[in-house]
A and B are shown apart, each in its own frame.
Chain A
Amino acid sequence: MSRITTQEELNALQGKFMSEIKAEPIRILVCAGTGCQASGSLNVYEKMKELAENTEIKVEFALHVQHPHVHKSGCLGFCEQGPLVRIEPFGVLYTKVKPEDCEEIFNETVKKGEIIHRLLYKNKITGEECFNQDSIPFYNGQTRVVLRTCGTIDPESIEEAISAGEYQALSKTLFKMTPDEVIQTVLDSKLRGRGGGGFVAGKKWQQVASQPVTERYVVCNGDEGDPGAFMDCSIMEGDPHRMIEGMIIAAYATGAHEGYIYVRAEYPLAVKRLTLAIKQATEYGLLGDNILGSGFSFNLHINRGAGAFVCGEGSALTASIEGKRGMPRVKPPRTVEEGLFGKPTVLNNVETYANVPQIILAGAEWYRSIGTENSPGTKTFALTGAVRNTGLVEVPFGITPREIIFNIGGGIRDDKKFKAVQIGGPSGGCLTEKQLDEPLDFDSVKKLGVIVGSGGLVVMDENTCMVEVARFFMEFTHRESCGKCVPCREGTLRMLEILERIVAGNGRMEDIEELRTLSDLIIHTALCGLGKSAPLPVVSTLNSFMDEYIAHIQDKKCPAHVCQKLKQYVIEPTKCKSCSKCARGCPVQAIDGKPKVPYVINQDKCIKCGACIETCPFKAIYVA
């Protein structure tokens, strides 16, 4: 391939790649996101490739026969139903495909255009078969802007990205817009940072552009550390070029010539695809020196994180790129003034950059037509936990949590009762049943005491203990505290000790007041966002689920039967057939009994491992 040196060449190339893809008579897209790969999609891909090489299809409009084309695609989002296979031009989406299914897919669908019904997704409520993506409730409640190409193009092919119109926004900014006009467009769009804070992106850019220092940097925060969140991972894996394009546009707008992408080391596939994307873009002259012959130069580097959650904080992230311990510093000066290497730095997250190209192409007004007035556009969420359809979703701001959980997510798994949805990860909180109809946008959820955060939505059912959830998050933030400031280092430990005491049945009523005092102190005195928001899951569960705290402290009971130390395993005498299976399976010989007499669990010896429940053939053992 040769470097593209003018705008016209890029347009010509887009046209060429588009017609090449159109000429593919059959296009088989095997999802190769982390989720589907884990379910074995690469084996499906290999099998498909092998079959494609031995299959010839007659194409009416072409003189020669062709082989079907097999491609890997980015994450389609519906990870739970993976491996997913999409076949164009029919648009059919097959779910849970195994290598053994591939031959049938070739014989029926590829050669004859027949649908294989057993591989179609079935609507979990109506039982209806869903032929394509749009007929699946999981998809038809979504608005895919950032994820538009995620799952329809091969993320390892820049040619497919170009054919889908990528780098057109870059070309428009370089040749038709001044840096100030780019900033104004982003400002007008009211795009807000998707990393959690919701700061207006255009303002950041404007502040960097107005600094007297001319050495500037553009940095992408791909250190998506919130447990239960994988949106940025899917964007980087599914269409790395879109995000890179957003970064180059930010660099042009702010006059930066060097950029860094900071990615978690736990995302090896994202690192691999970004590295490849940068290499391809550089070869095509879309990155590096004299981009598209415009005279503007920008180099992009990748830095891998090393397992420190705190590096998601701006000043810790830049310290880590500099080769230092990832510890936040006191602000001001802010990152826009003194960021990476002490220079003005634009720091946005993956999803924020991925929004930029379409804002440039379709305009700020179009962007503001999606979402709400002060939170325009869409937000990707990782919908997980006790919900029927788990996966990656993209919805307009202003949608209610109920719509996401019950329409897109299909409701609660196993027909259990909804209890709460955790939003914003360890920096967020829980929304309860009565808050489900509030609009989901930056400002509305703040009023409910939680944050949108990066986008993790973990749904919890009646079997989740909210005190244990609070303990879980506190353990996480305590472990991840960098130790620089005392309120976070010591405060989170004290809160964790109290919560551990409560879930073990040793809590005191004064503990609740103590938790509130400590929360207040840490929120107001910690150095960085990690510490300031660490107590939020506790505050939020105290506000909404005080009865559960009281049950643990006063009655020594865990209402959800989760907390191990408060559990009691009991054998129901009327159901016990004295088969002795439980006694033989008990690792600590805590179960005694004789033939024809119901068995009994010795509570002093029982370690509450639950092995007896699994072995009992008569379901005679229950948790009290």
Chain B
Amino acid sequence: MLEQSFYDKTDEILSRYPAQERSLIPIIHEIQEAFNYVPVELLPYVAKHIGITETKAFSVASFYERFSFEPKGKYIIRVCDGTACHVRNSLPVLERLRSELGLSEKKHTTDDMLFTVETVSCLGACSLAPALMVNDHVHPAMTPEKATEMLKALREEASVHE
């Protein structure tokens, strides 16, 4: 069972959209932004509100790559593996991030919920390849060494906030 606060926040999101099928994707976007993931328990709740079946809501939410049913870390690192980044060696950057954080192709989020590492097809920052994005911020011209420094800086930033 989710805490009541999840439903309260969802109610607030739902109140801003017409109760129609076409509101489904924008609502799931907002849910993911509010909680950093899409708690699967909320889908029947949303479906009922906008008048579609549970299965339909689940089929849509699971279709789109960007929506995650798993909680994500505080810092979501999206390593670009688009063509331009790929030919300028984005893979060693990804490998360094994974090895430093003990993550893999299967395990995306660190146990302390600080970091999630994913790949993305293109960030549109091709002229600064290889690039990666931490939450909404693009980091240009990455190297494995810069990736290590970046993690260090993010860890420091996180400890200051706590």
A480 CB to closest chain B CB, in angstroms?
Answer: 8
Measured CB to CB, the nearest residue on chain B to A465 is B87
Contact A266 B123 (CB under 8 A): yes
> Is B139 positioned at the interface, with any CB of A under 8 Å from its CB?
yes
B106 CB to closest chain A CB, in angstroms?
Answer: 15
- With A227-B84, A385-B88, A458-B87 known as contacts, the answer to whether A308 contacts B65 (CB < 8 A) is yes
**In the docked arrangement, what's the CA distance between A309 and B138, Å?**
20
> Is A267 positioned at the interface, with any CB of B under 8 Å from its CB?
yes
B91 CB to closest chain A CB, in angstroms?
Answer: 9
Q: List 11 A-B contacts (CB under 8 A).
A: A35-B127, A38-B131, A82-B128, A230-B124, A266-B124, A303-B25, A304-B25, A306-B28, A384-B126, A384-B127, A458-B84
Taking Cβ atoms with an 8 Å cutoff, the residues of A that contact B are 34-35, 37-39, 79-80, 82, 224-230, 233-234, 264-268, 303-309, 320-327, 382-386, 390-392, 422, 425, 456, 458, 460, 464, 469, 472-473, 476, 480, 482, 610
Segment with Cβ contacts to A, from B7-15, B16-24, B107-115, B150-158: B16-24
- With A325-B60, A326-B64 known as contacts, the answer to whether A230 contacts B83 (CB < 8 A) is no
Q: Which of B65, B83, B127, B139 contacts A227 (CB 8 A)?
A: B83
**In the docked arrangement, what's the CA distance between A228 and B121, Å?**
9
**In the docked arrangement, what's the CA distance between A233 and B123, Å?**
10
Contact A79 B128 (CB under 8 A): yes
Measured CB to CB, the nearest residue on chain A to B118 is A307
Given contacts A227-B122, A386-B87, A482-B63, 18 further A-B contacts (CB under 8 A): A38-B131, A38-B139, A224-B124, A227-B82, A227-B86, A229-B124, A229-B126, A230-B127, A233-B124, A266-B122, A266-B124, A304-B29, A321-B22, A325-B59, A385-B88, A391-B127, A469-B83, A610-B92
Residues of B within 8 A of A39 (CB): 128, 140
Residues of A within 8 A of B131 (CB): 38
> Is B66 positioned at the interface, with any CB of A under 8 Å from its CB?
yes
Q: Which of B22, B28, B128, B137 contacts A35 (CB 8 A)?
A: B128
Residues of A within 8 A of B120 (CB): 266, 307
**In the docked arrangement, what's the CA distance between A11 and B87, Å?**
49
Q: Which of B20, B21, B66, B87 contacts A385 (CB 8 A)?
A: B87
**In the docked arrangement, what's the CA distance between A480 and B20, Å?**
27
Measured CB to CB, the nearest residue on chain B to A480 is B121
Residues of A within 8 A of B88 (CB): 385-386
**In the docked arrangement, what's the CA distance between A307 and B133, Å?**
15
- With A230-B122, A306-B29, A322-B21 known as contacts, the answer to whether A38 contacts B83 (CB < 8 A) is no
Closest 7 CB pairs of A and B: A227-B82, A307-B66, A306-B64, A307-B65, A230-B124, A384-B84, A38-B138
Residues of B within 8 A of A321 (CB): 22
Q: Which of B59, B63, B124, B129 contacts A267 (CB 8 A)?
A: B124
- With A303-B25, A320-B25, A321-B22 known as contacts, the answer to whether A80 contacts B83 (CB < 8 A) is no
Residues of B within 8 A of A229 (CB): 122, 124, 126
B54 CB to closest chain A CB, in angstroms?
Answer: 14
B146 CB to closest chain A CB, in angstroms?
Answer: 13
Name which of A229, A264, A384 has the most chain B CB atoms within 10 A of its CB.
A384
**In the docked arrangement, what's the CA distance between A551 and B143, Å?**
30
Contact A392 B127 (CB under 8 A): yes
Measured CB to CB, the nearest residue on chain B to A269 is B136
- With A79-B128, A384-B127 known as contacts, the answer to whether A34 contacts B138 (CB < 8 A) is yes
Q: Which of A307, A323, A456, A472 contacts B21 (CB 8 A)?
A: A323
B46 CB to closest chain A CB, in angstroms?
Answer: 11
Residues of A within 8 A of B137 (CB): 38
**In the docked arrangement, what's the CA distance between A473 and B88, Å?**
15
B111 CB to closest chain A CB, in angstroms?
Answer: 23
Q: Which of A34, A306, A391, A422 contacts B67 (CB 8 A)?
A: A306
